Amino acid sequence: MDRVWSVVEGVGGPAGWYAFTRLWSVRAALDRVVGGPGMRGRPNRPLRVGDVVDFWVVEAIVPGRSLTLRAEMRMPGTARMTLTVTPAGAGAALEQVITFEPRGVAGPAYWYGQLPAHRVVFAAMLRGMVRAAERR
C-alpha cells in the first residue's frame, strides 16, 4: 500500500498527472487565459488540506488512504477527484472517483461535452499511476 500511496500523494507538480501531460498543460494554459489559476506547482513535502496542486486544491486527506482534490479551474461547476488506496490481497487497490456539481445551464453541457475526453484521460491517468507504483 505504501508504494501506491506514494504515487497518489506525489501527484501533480514535477511528477505530473501520469498521462496526457501535454494535454494537462494545454488545459492549464487555457484556464489562465480565461482568468483561472493555471498550473501553480505543489509543495515539496507531504500534502495537507488547503495545499495547491497545480490547478487543484487539497480538500481532504487521510494519509496512506485517500486524497480528495477540488479543481480550481474555470468551469461552470465544481469538480473533485478522490483517489483511495485500500488493501487487496498481498497488494493494494487504487480507486479514482471523479464528481462534478454543475452550475447553471452551462454546467451539464460542459460536463457531458467533456465526458468522452474525461473518460479517456482519467482512465489513462489511473493506469499510469498503477504502473508508477509497480515500478517503485
pLDDT tens digits, 2-49: 999 999 999 998 888 999 988 888 988 999 999 989 899 999 999 999
In terms of residues, how long is the chain?
136
- The mean pLDDT value for 90-98 works out to 95
Find the CATH number of the domain harbouring 95: 3.30.530
Query: What is the number of domains present in the chain?
Result: 1
Domain extent at residue 92 = 2-135
Exposed, middle or buried, 85 (CB in 10 Å: 0-12/13-18/19+)? buried
For residue 96, which of 2, 4, 3 has the smallest C-alpha distance? 4
Q: What is the pLDDT confidence band of residue 53, given thresholds at 50, 70 and 90? A: very high
Q: What is the pLDDT confidence band of residue 95, given thresholds at 50, 70 and 90? A: very high
